[in-house]
C-alpha cells in the first residue's frame, strides 16, 4: 500500500555479540549518532556565544520553545509507528488555536470550556482521519491531505482570515504560569510525552500499534483489531496537535490560520531524526524527543548568533540529512564488518 511505511528488514546488529573495538565504535555511532549531533550542537553554540547560549535562562527557554513541537511530534510518532502518514496535524494545530480563542472571545465561554471544546474538535478530526484510512481504505497520505485542505477552509471561514486576538487573562496564563520556576508548558510536555512513552512500550495498545506498523496482515491474523488501532493512532495524534494548538494560542495571544504551518516540516524532521536514535529505524518517543531538541536548539542557537532565516533553513535541512546519513551508513559499515 502506498502512503504506508515499509520497514527495512535488515538484521539488526547486536552490540556485545561481536566485541571488536572498531565494531563497537560503529555500533555507538549508529545508535548514538543522532544524540551525538545534539551534544555537538550544544558544544558548538556554547563556544560561539558563551555568554548567551549556555545560561540557565536560555536552556529553560529552549525547553519552553520546544514544548509545542514536542507535543505535536510525540503525537505524530503514533501513526508513524502504526505505519501510516498523517499530514493533517499542522492544520489541526491552527484549528484548535482559532477555536479556543474564538470560543473565548466570540462566544464568551469560560477558558476551560473553550479549551475542552477545542480539544474535542481536534480529536474528532483525528477520528475522521482514522475512519477514512481504516474503514474506507483510503491511502493515508491522500486522506489526511484531504482533511488538511478542508480544515484550511474551515479555519479561514471561522476566522475570516484575520487573527483573532485576545487580552491577557486566565487563558494566556496557560503559557505563562510556572510551578517551582518551571514553565507550565514544559510540565505539560513532560506529562504528555511520558504518557505516550508508557503507552507505546508498556501497554497492549502500544504493542499492537507496533505490530500493525510492522506487518498488518500478520497483526490481523493474530487477532489485533487493526482498524481500531489505526483510528486510535490518528485520534491521539490529532489530540496532541490540538493541545499544542491551545498552548501556542495562549503563548501568542491569538488564533491564526497559519499558526500551525511551521510544524508540518519540523515535526516530520524531528520524528525521522529520532527514528535513528538507539534503535534501527523504528519510530519511538525517546528518539522523537532527541529530534525535537535538535530542531529547537538549532533555531535557538542560530538566532542568538543573529543568523538570517535562510541560514536557519539550510542548516536544519542539512542536519536532518547528515544525522540520518551518519547513523544509516555506520550501521551499513557495521553489517559489512561483521561479515569478515
Partner 1 sequence: MTTATTAPGQAAPLVRVRGLTKSYGAIRALRGVDVSFRRGEIHGLVGANGAGKSTLIRCLAGLERPDAGDILVDGEIAHVHGPDDAARLGLAFIHQELNLVSSFTGAQNIMLGSHRGSMVTPRRFSGVPRAVLDAARRVGIDFPLDIPVSELTVHQQWLVTIARALVEDRALIAMDEPTASLDAQEAATLLKVARELAASGVAVVFISHRLDEVTAVCDRVTAFKDGSISLALPRAEITREAVVRAIVGHDVTPGAGATAFEVTEHPRVVLRLQDVGRGRSVREVSLTLHEGEVVGIAGLVGSGRTELARLIFGADRPDRGTMLLDGKPYRPRSIPHAIARGVAYVPEERRSEALFLTHSVEDNLHITVWDRWRMSKLLPLIRPRASRAAANHTCRTLGIKTADARRPVMSLSGGNQQKVVMGRWLATNPKILILDEPTRGVDVGARADIYDRIREANRSGSAVLVISSEFEELLECNRVLVMAEGRIVGELTGGEITVPNMLHLCYA
Three cell numbers at 35? 544524540
CB closer to partner 1 out of 176 and 207: 207
Mask for 279-298, x = binds partner 1 (CB under 8 A): -x-x----------------
The CB-of-32 to partner 1 minimum distance in angstroms stands at 19
184 close to 174: Cβ distance less than 8 angstroms: yes
Smallest separation (angstroms) from partner 1 to the CB of 195: 12
- Single out the segment in contact with partner 1 by CB under 8 A; choices: 136-144, 218-226, 270-278, 323-331: 218-226
How far is Cα 302 from Cα 49, in angstroms, rounded to an integer? Answer: 10
Radius of gyration for the alpha carbons in the chain, expressed in angstroms and rounded = 21
Q: Which of 181, 221, 306, 310 binds partner 1 (CB under 8 A)?
A: 221
Centroid of chain to Cα 248: 15
The stretch among 80-88, 216-224, 265-273, 324-332 that binds partner 1 (CB under 8 A) is 216-224
| Region of 64-72, 114-122, 315-323, 331-339 interacting with partner 1 (CB under 8 A) | 331-339
CB 276 within 8 A of CB 324: yes
- Beta carbons within 10 angstroms of residue 239's beta carbon: 23
Among 7, 62, 105, 158, indicate the residue that binds partner 1 (CB under 8 A).
Answer: 7
Q: Does 305 bind partner 1 (CB under 8 A)?
A: no
Angle at 232 (CA atoms; ends 229, 238), nearest 5 degrees: 145
Residue from 141, 186, 220, 333 touching partner 1 (CB under 8 A): that is: 220
Site string for partner 1, 14-43 (x = CB under 8 A): x--xx-------------------------
**What whole-number distance in Å separates Cα of residue 249 and Cα of residue 245?**
6
How many of the chain's residues bind partner 1 (CB under 8 A)?
34
E strand spans, 100-253: 164-165, 178-179, 182-183
Residue 55 or 201: the one with the smaller Cβ distance to partner 1 is 201
Contact string 169-208 vs partner 1 (x = CB under 8 A): -----------------------------x---xxxx-xx
Map grid coordinates 498523517 to a residue: 86
Residue 34 half-sphere exposure toward CB, CA atoms < 13 A: 31
Alpha carbons 79 and 239: distance in angstroms, whole number: 12
Residues 171/100, Cβ–Cβ less than 8 Å: yes
Q: Which residues contribute to the site for partner 1 (CB under 8 A)?
A: 7, 9, 11-14, 17-18, 198, 202-205, 207-208, 210-211, 214-215, 217-225, 280, 282, 336, 338-340
Amino acid at each position: 500500500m502506498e502512503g504506508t511505511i515499509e520497514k527495512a528488514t535488515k538484521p539488526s546488529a547486536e552490540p556485545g555479540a561481536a566485541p571488536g573495538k572498531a565494531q563497537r565504535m560503529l555500533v555507538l555511532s549508529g545508535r548514538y549518532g543522532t544524540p551525538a549531533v545534539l551534544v555537538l550542537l550544544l558544544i558548538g553554540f556554547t563556544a560561539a556565544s558563551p555568554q548567551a547560549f549556555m545560561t540557565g535562562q536560555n536552556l529553560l527557554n529552549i525547553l519552553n520553545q520546544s514544548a509545542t513541537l514536542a507535543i505535536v511530534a510525540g503525537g505524530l510518532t503514533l501513526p508513524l509507528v502504526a505505519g501510516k502518514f498523517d499530514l493533517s496535524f499542522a492544520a489541526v494545530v491552527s484549528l484548535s488555536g482559532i477555536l479556543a480563542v474564538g470560543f473565548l472571545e466570540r462566544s464568551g465561554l469560560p477558558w476551560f470550556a473553550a479549551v475542552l471544546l477545542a480539544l474535542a474538535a481536534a480529536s474528532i478530526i483525528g477520528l475522521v482521519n482514522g475512519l477514512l484510512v481504516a474503514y474506507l481504505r483510503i491511502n493515508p497520505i491522500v486522506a489526511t491531505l484531504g482533511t488538511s485542505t478542508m480544515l484550511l477552509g474551515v479555519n479561514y471561514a471561522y476566522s475570516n482570515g484575520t487573527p483573532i486576538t485576545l487580552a491577557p487573562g486566565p487563558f494566556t496564563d496557560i503559557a505563562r504560569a510556572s510551578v517551582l520556576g518551571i514553565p507550565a508548558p514544559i510540565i505539560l510536555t513532560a506529562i504528555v510525552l511520558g504518557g505516550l512513552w508508557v503507552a507505546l512500550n508498556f501497554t497492549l495498545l502500544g504493542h499492537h500499534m507496533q505490530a500493525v506498523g510492522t506487518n498488518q496482515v500478520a497483526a490481523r491474523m493474530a487477532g489485533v483489531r487493526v482498524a481500531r488501532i489505526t483510528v486510535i493512532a490518528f485520534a491521539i495524534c490529532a489530540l496532541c496537535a490540538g493541545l499544542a494548538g491551545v498552548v501556542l494560542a495562549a503563548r501568542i495571544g491569538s488564533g491564526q490560520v497559519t499558526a500551525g504551518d511551521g510544524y508540518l516540516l519540523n515535526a516530520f524532521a524531528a520524528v525521522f531524526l529520532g527514528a535513528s536514535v538507539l534503535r534501527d529505524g523504528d519510530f519511538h518517543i525517546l528518539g522523537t524527543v532527541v529530534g525535537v531538541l535538535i530542531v529547537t536548539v538549532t533555531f535557538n542557537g542560530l538566532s542568538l548568533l543573529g543568523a538570517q532565516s535562510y541560514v536557519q533553513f539550510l542548516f536544519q535541512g542539512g542536519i536532518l540529512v547528515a544525522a540520518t546519513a551518519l547513523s544509516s551508513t555506520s550501521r551499513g559499515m557495521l553489517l559489512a564488518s561483521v561479515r569478515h
